[in-house]
């Protein structure tokens, strides 16, 4: 009875690990990293619009807060999607790193190690890629497309378009 239950426990643990691997849910550490980065990147344009487009924070703090929260949500959504896609590609590329995984007793350890490496690389790459795309779109929108608009409209439109396009592009494979 006990052997049977431990075997089913092992299977369910493996299944759990597989489910975790293929789900889009984030660990606490990844969540903290993503939301923290998204908040910082969303807050950076406040300085740009304050100093260059002359939007005083004391008069426009409500708009800045709303814009930052909305953009941070979309950027973190993009982070998650890109990380999910990249993680599996990186995981496949790591097959060459642990050649002896055919040994049964080391298989779990090597899989775990590969998973950790893929998780870390995918997270950092997703942040780098999405940040660079967001800032590029934001600069083009605020200095070229909407440069003749009033600063408030410029801020909302630039931030919405940059974060919206980021979220949209992240859903493609």
Shortest Å distance, C-beta 129 to another protein: 5
76 in Cβ contact with 35 (< 8 Å): yes
Closest CA to 34 of 168, 172, 141, 131: 131
Among 136, 150, 153, 171, binds another protein (CB under 8 A): 136
The C-alpha angle with vertex 47 and arms to 128 and 155, in degrees rounded to 5, equals 85
Question: Taking CB under 8 A as the rule, does residue 50 contact another protein?
Answer: no
Among 22, 47, 61, 128, binds another protein (CB under 8 A): 128
Question: Taking CB under 8 A as the rule, does residue 165 contact another protein?
Answer: no
Among 17, 43, 139, 165, binds another protein (CB under 8 A): 139
19-48 positions binding another protein, by CB under 8 A: none
45 in Cβ contact with 8 (< 8 Å): no
Return the sign of the alpha-carbon dihedral for residues 136, 165, 116, 31: positive
Question: Taking CB under 8 A as the rule, does residue 93 contact another protein?
Answer: yes
- Residues 163 and 144: their CA atoms lie apart, in Å, by 17
Closest CA to 133 of 95, 65, 79, 97: 79
Tell me which DSSP letter residue 172 carries: -
Question: Taking CB under 8 A as the rule, does residue 129 contact another protein?
Answer: yes
Binding mask 73-92 for another protein (x = CB under 8 A): ------------xx--xx--
Among 143, 157, 160, 165, binds another protein (CB under 8 A): 143
Point out which residues bind another protein (CB under 8 A). 52, 85-86, 89-90, 93, 125, 128-129, 132-133, 135-136, 139-140, 143-144
């Amino acid at each position: 009875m006990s052997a049977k239950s431990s075997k089913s426990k092992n299977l369910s643990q493996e299944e759990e690990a597989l489910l975790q691997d293929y789900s889009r849910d984030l660990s606490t550490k990844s969540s903290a990293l993503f939301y923290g980065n998204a908040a910082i990147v969303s807050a950076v344009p406040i300085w740009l619009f304050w100093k260059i487009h002359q939007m005083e924070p004391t008069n426009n703090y409500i708009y800045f807060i709303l814009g930052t929260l909305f953009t941070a949500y979309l950027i973190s959504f993009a982070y998650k999607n890109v990380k999910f896609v990249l993680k599996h590609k990186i995981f496949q590329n790591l097959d060459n790193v642990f050649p002896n995984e055919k040994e049964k007793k080391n298989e779990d350890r090597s899989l775990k190690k590969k998973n950790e490496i893929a998780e870390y690389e995918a997270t950092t790459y997703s942040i780098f890629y999405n940040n660079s795309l967001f800032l590029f779109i934001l600069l083009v929108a605020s200095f070229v497309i909407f440069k003749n608009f009033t600063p408030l409209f410029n801020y909302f439109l630039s931030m919405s378009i940059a974060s919206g396009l980021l979220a949209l592009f992240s859903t493609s494979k």
